Each structure stands twice: as structure tokens, then as C-alpha cells.
Structure 1
Amino acid sequence: MSIAVHPDKQMTGVGSTLLGWVIQFVRKAGAHKLEVGTGTFGYQLAFYQRQGFRVTSIDRDFFITNYDERVFEDGIQLLDMLRLTFDYQENRV
């Protein structure tokens, strides 16, 4: 599943509010951890880290293997995907 905020609404707190709701919803459903995947650089990585997610693994060549067209961010081709995990025991939310 993918989530995104329209560029016109980025940096307004909408994404943080949305992700906060998801974190709480999944916690209430009984999960111990929540995992997301993102590119290896860029604002998305810092966004998830600010919310308490930590890098737990790397899927090498993910964007090459799973996308028909090359994916670029800031003029750089994305190759690998970082998996980040929110651990409810560590974050105590």
C-alpha cells in the first residue's frame, strides 16, 4: 500500500497527522511493530525517522526489480528500498 500527500499540502503537518493516525490504529489492532519501505535518501526517510521509525533492512535493487520504469528522486535513480520499523515497545505510544 502506498500513501502520499499532494505536493501542495506537504510540509503542513498533514502527513504527520495521517501517519500518527495509522500508528495508533495499528497499535489498537494489537500489532507490536509497523513496517514501511522507502527510498534510501530524501525527505521521506527523515520523515519516518522523525516519527520514531528505525532502519531495519535494505531490499537491494527493489526499485529495479519491482517497477517497469526507472524511478528518480532529485535526479538520482532509486535502486534500493529501506525498510523501517516502528517498534511499539521502544516508542511507548
Structure 2
Amino acid sequence: MFKEVKENKKQYLQLLLLADEQEDMIDRYIDKGIMYVLEDGEIKCECVVTDEKNGILEIKNIATRPECQGKGYGRLMIEFLAEKYKGKYSVLQVGTGDSPLTVPFYEKCGFIRSHRIKNFFTDNYDHPIFECGIQLVDMIYLQRKL
């Protein structure tokens, strides 16, 4: 069901772009990250994680195919990561926009707000990014103890 992708990670670009809509931003982490896909006859969800040192494993990208959203696949991926890396890392971390879609999802998965990086989206993306009609400006970091 969960499979590590070691080569041709860009074959999942369309799914990656659902979570991070600028390809050159994905290029910053895709090669150094570990990619997993949740497959059940077809790809349902993907995730890329990176070692951020000091016991922190960071989710850089997690996306579920639109027709599969709301069915628990994203939560399954997070629980898979938490179980797989428990004991190897002390914290699972994710950075996201301050959105009414993503922040509550992570909080329901056991993450708590940690810190923010001011103007991350306006400083690093070549266009404004909107979610639920709200422009994303700051990066909100959430953490979950493993």
C-alpha cells in the first residue's frame, strides 16, 4: 500500500503541484527528500519528507488526488510516517500557509503550531497564492512529537 519512490519522482509532478504550485520550489527538495506514495490499485496520495537535523523530519509536500480527498488518505500517510520514523526522529514537522483548509487538517492529525516565517509565500513565489479566497503570506509551522 505504501511504497517508497526512489527514481523518476517527477512522474508525480501533477500531484506534487497540488500541494506546492510552483515547480522550481518543488525542485528545491524533491531530490534530497524521501518520497512515498499510497497506492491501492492507483495512486491516491504522495508525500515527500526531508531530514532537517536535530531530530526533525519535515513533510515538504503531501497531496491527495482531488477525487480521493476527504477519504482519510492524507491522515493515513501521516500515520504511516509517524509509525515508520518513531524512534528515529523526535518531531514530525510541516510548514503550510495559514489556510482554513490545511491548518485544521494538521491539527486534527495531532500537530500543534510551532512558529511562523513572515512573508514566506510573498518572498519565495513568483505569483500570489490563494486558498479559500485568502492570500497566503506567512509560512505556519506545525509539529507533532513522535
Paired with 2:103 and 2:114, the residues of 1 have a C-alpha distance of 13
Superposed structure 1 runs of 4+ greater than 6 Å apart: none
Count, aligned residues = 87
| 8 Å contact from structure 2 (residues 119, 138) kept in 1 | yes
Higher strand share: 2
Structure 2 partner of 1:23:
82
User: In structure 2, what is the equivalent of residue 62 of structure 1?
Assistant: 120
Matched, 1:3 2:59: no
Work out the CA distance in 2 between the residues paired with 1:23 and 1:17.
10
Letter in 2 for 1:79: V
The structure with higher relative contact order (CA 8 Å, sep 6+) is: 1
Q: Distance in 2 between matches of 1:74 and 1:41?
A: 7
Q: Which amino acid in 1 is paired with 2:126?
A: D
Shift of 1:81: 1.1
Note the aligned Cα RMSD (angstroms): 1.1
Matching residue of 1:91? none
Say whether 1:44 aligns with 2:44: no
TM-score w.r.t. the length of structure 1 is 0.86
Identity of aligned residues (%): 33
Give the structure 1 partner of residue 93 of structure 2.
35
Equivalent position amino acid for 1:10 in 2:
Q
**Structure with the higher helix share, 1 or 2:** 1
Distance 1:42 1:5 in 2: 17
